[in-house]
Structure 1
Amino acid sequence: MIAMVVKIITETNDIQRIKEVAEKLVVETKKEKGCIEYDLYINIEDKTSMSFIEKWETKDDLENHLNSEHFKRLYPEICKYKIDGETVLYEKHSV
């Protein structure tokens, strides 16, 4: 399993716009093959900090998502309002 956390920092007046676009992205992404989880989380203490937390069955499934029509259309719209952030990719290891 692959997990990815995409952290986005934005301005206060752009929060609602990001949430509107993210809702469309989440709905479409959850229909994709290999998508286990894909949701937007908003920091409880700082509403300008939010993260997409996603889990995929395989790295290929994630790559297909990143190349999907809806991702290529909607994620750049979110990035218009992004002032900072980071993306971290994880691979699950059983202990």
Structure 2
Amino acid sequence: MAATSFTLDDLRAVLLRAAGTDDTVDLDGDIADLDFADLGYESLALLETAGQIERTYGISLDEEAFADARTPRRLIALVNTHLSVSDAA
């Protein structure tokens, strides 16, 4: 997919597709700065999310950088950095 940006709505869709959601979490709310653990996503769910992003957007996320992206805002920034690099290539 030749996407030029990855948004919070894109992330919400990937999270739901890859790992579902906890009934107590409102992904439609202001979640950008919440820790993924607070949203009910543990490491296995996030690995599946990373895999979905990589396959859908044709990028490869660095494991260490991905592990440091503990909030939706940080993960979105990481994905957008990779999308910018692949657009420039």
- Do the two structures share a fold, i.e. TM-score over 0.5? no
- Indicate the structure whose relative CO is greater, using CA pairs within 8 Å and at least 6 residues apart: 1
Normalised to the residue count of structure 1, the TM-score between the two structures is: 0.31
More strand by share: 1
Pick the structure with greater CA Rg: 1
Higher helix share: 2
